[in-house]
Amino acid sequence: MSGVAKHLGEALKLRKQADTADMDSLSGKTVFFYFSASWCPPCRGFTPQLVEFYEKHHDSKNFEIILASWDEEEDDFNAYYAKMPWLSIPFANRNIVEALTKKYSVESIPTLIGLNADTGDTVTTRARHALTQDPMGEQFPWRDE
């Protein structure tokens, strides 16, 4: 297993579907881990911007987003995730979210970190800031210099 898949195993599930996502569907893409939670006011402010970007550019810019939720209650997770059109690490796999939080030294949310899905190499650790500065994605995928 390589790239992003080594961090996730079979943890992904599609929104509002019980089926797991096919890891092959991530191949060749930039994958963004979106660290967020329903109880976080800045997250609730940023999520609609991210949804809009996703819906406008998902197909043309060849990327995927995976929610890595910091919610502590499954009902809160489910209600928040219902507003999102992308993939998620299931609530039951919070240990994966905890491991990713440590690996990428996430100290606050919302945080959006981009990876090369095939290699697992970090593309950007500042995607949240970059998206707010470049909402049309002209500099996408906002590579760290």
Annotated binding residues for Mg(2+): 7, 58, 112
Annotated binding residues: 7, 58, 112
Sheet containing strand 87-88, strands side by side: 87-88, 63-69, 30-36, 111-116, 122-124
- Produce one character per residue of 90-99: b if its CB has 16 or more CB atoms within 10 Å, e if not: bbebbebbee
Query: Dihedral, CA atoms, 93, 99, 105, 106, nearest 10 degrees?
Result: 10
Residue the block writes with tokens 């995976």: 66
